[in-house]
Amino acid sequence: MSATARKTAPNAQDIRAQKGGVPLVSLTAYTTPMARLMDGHCDFVLVGDSVGMVLHGLSSTLGVTMEMMILHGQAVARGLERSMLVIDMPFGSYEEGPAQAFRNAARLMAETGAGAVKLEGGVEMAETIRFLVKRGIPVMAHIGLTPQSINTLGGYKVQGRDDQAQAVLADAHAVADAGAFSVVLEKVPATLADRITDEVAIPTIGIGASVGCDGQILVVDDMLGFFTAFKPKFVKRYADLGPLAEAAIAEYAAEVRARSFPAAEHVFGDQAPVKGPKA
């Protein structure tokens, strides 16, 4: 069943059941108004740690904290009724081991109402994913380019070319076997993404991967043109709202300086307006 026809939010098992069906739709969100705009159009909405770069001006996702994720998770939750809420586990909140991951994942879900968490890593995170799933925490995995690991990956490079392909494929199988209900494939070659999609039993969610994935996700500020610091190759701008917003702000500033705003219709008189007689 498509997200637009659904009257209640799906859960992790609903998402998993869409493997091979109508492609899953997802975007990131960080605020209540944006969540309301995408509610029902998306199967799931991700509160991504990209919030650090998009809204907080950080140079990477590494400075994002649990408190930031909880704050934005709560805001997005207020705007969703028909789309599932998934929330990123920030850097340093799960890598130490399964017990640390469970404490922080449980806190994220309890304080935001999220239906699942997402964490980065493949083979090395399989034990943690299995631990969480067995204890009632649905996990969306994330392999390929994992932004929290840019210091060891050498930057935001495509992952899975040539001799790297087998390692990424092994990551996909590891997270699926560990119980993840879906897996994000970021910035991997299309042929490899198609192979992974064919071989694993859980939905693949592409971002810079392949149209053959079981679903797609983008950062909403990228696709709407609000975030303009850089534009990844895999982003399609469905609108260019950043320049429109800047033009509106410039017009407002000019009218304030010219004293043409506020005009008479925007201010209040000394007396209340007289109401006409009832019909």
The residues carrying an active-site annotation are 186
Q: Return d(Cα 169, Cα 193) in angstroms, integer.
A: 9
Ramachandran angles phi, psi of 136, nearest 5°: 90, 15
Q: Return d(Cα 261, Cα 20) in angstroms, integer.
A: 55
Q: Return d(Cα 101, Cα 117) in angstroms, integer.
A: 10
Which burial class, exposed, middle or buried, applies to 177 when counting CB atoms under 10 A from its CB (0-12, 13-18, 19+)? middle
- C-alpha gyration radius of the chain: 22
Annotated binding site: 49-50, 88, 118, 120
Annotated binding site for Mg(2+): 49, 88, 120
Annotated binding site for 3-methyl-2-oxobutanoate: 49-50, 88, 118
